[in-house]
Chains A and B, each alone.
Chain A
Amino acid sequence: EVQLVESGGGLVKPGGSLKLSCAASGFTFSNYIMNWVRQAPGKGLEWVSSFSSGDAYIDYADSVKGRFTISRDHAKNSLYLQMNNLRAEDTALYYCVREKNPKDYYDFLTNKWRSNWSDLWGQGTPVTVSS
């Protein structure tokens, strides 16, 4: 079965650390860009970080840059998110997300650019930062 299963969430004090894991199965993990996306309670979706399929690039949202580190282990089909110096505003459900990229990024018919988009989501792991 094609799926993503997150783990590692929990309660941590401000300034603390936590490492999230995401186990991928049912597809060739190394072929895909993988992301972390979070959702604070009652709020919208926020992209957190991306790790490219060929390990060519890593990117972070400004809100987590310098505090969070994304990594992946192709042998274990796993994605990770090391979160340090956690703040109350990091409290959220953290989703592991597989990303699909289009065949061609530029559409000459409409003169518009396509984006990568998320085609598979885990169920999320909750992180609560509170004293």
Chain B
Amino acid sequence: RKEVEQDPGPFNVPEGATVAFNCTYSNSASQSFFWYRQDCRKEPKLLMSVYSSGNEDGRFTAQLNRASQYISLLIRDSKLSDSATYLCAVNILTGGGNKLTFGTGTQLKVEL
């Protein structure tokens, strides 16, 4: 079983739609959680850190469910510019320090 799993998509949605991504992780010792956005041939850029209490940044809402070991990202009123790959990432504490492990990424295409 992969340490971090995501539906690879693609998710094709019309502009203005609400879209939700989920990500599950297998290691209960995971410490911290993130959503990154990656555009084609670019580096991952931090979108949001994810907390159990949930956090919101404009049209984006992230949630962590430690009991069920999943994290989610909700994008409301999607824009064409939201088209990208969304990577969830989980920090797992090991003997050498924290290791950030990424899910496979979910591709989002927002269309007119």
A-B interaction: no
Interface residue ranges, B against A (CB under 8 Å) = none
